[in-house]
Amino acid sequence: MTNSRPVITRFAPSPTGHLHVGGARTALFNWALARRLGGRFLLRIEDTDVLRSSDAAVAGILEDLAWLGIDWDEGPEHAGRGGDPRGVGPFFQSQRLTLYREASDRLVAEDLAYPAFEAPEELDALRRSARAETGAFRYRRPAGWDRGAALARAAREPHVIRFRWPQQAITVRDEILGEVAFPADFVDDFVILKRDGFPTYHLGVVVDDEGMGVTHVLRGQEHLGNTPRHIALQRALGYRVPVYAHLPLIQNPDGSKMSKRDADSPEPGAELPAITVEDFRRAGYTPAVLLNFLALLGWSSGEKLPDSRDLERFDTRYLASHFALERVGRGNAKFDRAKLLAFSHEALAGLSDDEWLAQWQGWCERYAPEAPARLGDPARAQVFGAALRSRARTLAEPSAPGGPGRFALVADAGFAYDAKAVEKLLLKGDPSGLSLLSAVAERLAALPDFAPDAIEALVAAFATERGVKLGVVAQALRTAVTGAGASPPLGQTLVILGRASTLARIARCLRECGGGA
């Protein structure tokens, strides 16, 4: 892969919604290649689909990339990123229509493109006829076509501009797939300029890549069939052909497409699978974890750990210094959600208590602003962080229904009692755990130092005094204050709640589950 020009890569999303993780992987690989080769990475917004593009989607994509930490050297200015130091902008295709019209006019003037007038229903009829005869529809310039008459008609009637496919075989030289040959009749005379004056993807991307000096185009293999079209346009316009590299597709482990629309008949209100960067951010994944995981979807460093396992844990600095197209595979990449969750769990457990707490509080600011307030003073929040750091697999999990920290983030009457836990841990035995709660609550109310170690010592002493196993008292308390038989260590659990909530919850348990002293 040699090129005398400075390396310039680009990411060019269509603003029709939040950034898909497949797009994020493409952006990451383009960014990494530019960083490793000392080049530039630019961001371009392909907003020519007027009906589907929106300002909100643009803002979402910019925010998604900024959150991931994928910084662009040129492009829309956002969060300290972007700008136009080389003067190759603007970076929104909707602001570059004159350039596309000029390119289209050049091709028409050289008889390499031409106006076409068929209405959608006429094209549908042609397709149906072709399917009935040969099974394949290829639009070609009609027999007996008169250039002068067509140009005169174009001056007064709506039309599209079609590129005259050169009827030549084209070989794509791909840095990942090798040489891929396409026959002379691979495509038809395709549209390059729509009736509304906006370019199709093919013309827009070719004009912009040339004008912005893009040297390397990294995109998904779903675009491989577009590449001969683009090469033909580049040749017709006298443009340089960039280096192409088509990345492996990202699929679910069963080989299906990663799409919310493809979920199996979701029920109304059912949670749909996460597929966008925002989905995974809301689900509590950190940008470092998500980027690390995305980098492994089709690429490997080739490095081995001392135990001969492949190196899989690394940051973006490592990726920027090691990324190479030679290490990108050809086969489809499988998006293993269980592996991503394991990555997240390991990464969060590796943080310090303070780091974990800060990241969790940052997540809460965006998605659950009421949660930290329920912890009260900072000391209780510190205990919460220490208790949940190794338990929570994502930043969202502590506050999720059934999550390991949910007990502390709801009101004292805001949780239900698990019937099995009540039966087993409160009502069974002689004495039952429930019958001991009033007495142990009095001890807790009088405890001078309401701290984890002091609480654990009090409960142990109380159990010895009453001649019961420690678990009888501890599990009764745990069930009383959380509604379930599992929580962080009891001392931490009670400190996280605070003395007042602990006593209020024990009193509630005695009222609702029956009491005794």
- CB atoms near residue 515 (< 10 Å): 14
Respond yes or no: is residue 260 known to be catalytic.
yes
d(CA 190, CA 226): 11
Which pair of structure tokens corresponds to residue 142?
């009609």
d(CA 109, CA 363): 57
d(CA 446, CA 462): 13
Strand 40-43 relative to strand 8-11, pairing: parallel
What ranges make up the beta strands (E) of 108-210?
113-116, 160-163, 170-174, 178-182, 191-193
d(CA 350, CA 390): 8
User: Of these residues, 257, 260, 420, 469, which one is catalytic?
Assistant: 260
d(CA 505, CA 483): 9
**Which helix H or strand E contains 457, and what residues bound it?**
helix 452-466
DSSP 24-82: HHHHHHHHHHHHHTT-EEEE-B----TTT--HHHHHHHHHHHHHHT---SBEEEETTEE
CA distance to 408, 460, 503, per residue, from 424 (Å): 23, 20, 22
Residue positions annotated with a catalytic role: 260
